Chains A and B, each alone.
Chain A
Amino acid sequence: MGDDEESVDRESTDRPPLADQRGVDTVYGASEDSHLLAEAAVEAVEPGERALDVGTGSGYVAASLAEAGADVLGTDLNPAACREAREAGIPVVRANLLDPIQASAVDLVAFNPPYLPSAPETEWGDWMETALSGGEDGRAAVDPFLEDLSRVLRDGGRAFLLVSSLTGIKAVREYAGSQGLDSSIVAEESFPFERLVVLRLL
């Protein structure tokens, strides 16, 4: 995807940076990162497979997976996001990361985590912050997700994780490695202030 200049140009023209979207709403709507993640996940899913969209937000990635024939479940911490995803026809449970998911229960996991590093004094304390902020290092949600991921994946299962250069792509891959996960970059897109990649984790 990195050499797909046309899509880079099209995507980067008229949308504000992610951080500027803070406070506009209570549910994170689909953005560049959602599209990048959905595309990578859809490419890797087989019809009939069980897929999980963690932090589903408005349900965009989950809906894309459902369209591709997957049996999708969305989860979100935010009750408003849960309602929105459900209204979009996505089966949803309110959950923290992978906590209420049975062992060896899913073939594919997609996660567009809150990843922007933020200083404590600038935090907003609302649901949009929960959707965007990954704590001081940007990895407050990513690390516990990686720690629990192998448990929920079936044999042959795979996960797709959106990571920004602001979070530290290398640090996330190293941490994934320490949890016994192999990672590879399967999609990427550059923006003025960050580079987004989709990591495939096995």
Chain B
Amino acid sequence: MQEDLMDIICCPLDKNELELDVTEREDGEIVAGTLTCTDCGETYPIEDGIPNLLPPDMREDAPA
């Protein structure tokens, strides 16, 4: 993900701001890291450049 995505995304649970923590960048793009809600503290992973902003109870709810 590009950093300017922070202007459009928010915590899916309470719509508050997210804090970005980058662990890996590649060509200016954030490849791995976390997004943490500044209000409820829920953490959302960024893996392979894709933030997973599903609420925690939907994250594992994956069909085959």
Contacts and interface: CB of A to CB of B under 8 A. Distances in A.
Contacts, number: 67
A125 B52 contact: no
B64 A126 contact: yes
A100 B12 contact: yes
B38 to A, nearest CB: 13
Given A73-B5, A91-B1, A102-B8, A96 B50 contact: no
A95 B53 contact: yes
A96 B54 contact: yes
Nearest to B29: A91
Interface stretch (A14-22, A61-69, A76-84): A76-84
Interface string A91-134: 11111100111110110000000000000000001110110000
Interface residues on B, range: 20 to 34
B1 A93 contact: yes
Given A91-B2, A130-B63, A102 B50 contact: no
Interface residues of A, number: 26
8 contacts: A93-B1, A94-B54, A99-B55, A100-B53, A103-B15, A125-B63, A125-B64, A130-B63
Interface of A: 50, 52, 73, 77, 79, 82-83, 86, 91-96, 99-103, 105-106, 125-127, 129-130
**Which 6 residue pairs are nearest across A and B when measured between Cβ atoms?**
A99-B12, A100-B53, A100-B12, A94-B52, A102-B10, A105-B8
Interface of B: 1-2, 5, 7-12, 15, 48-55, 58, 62-64
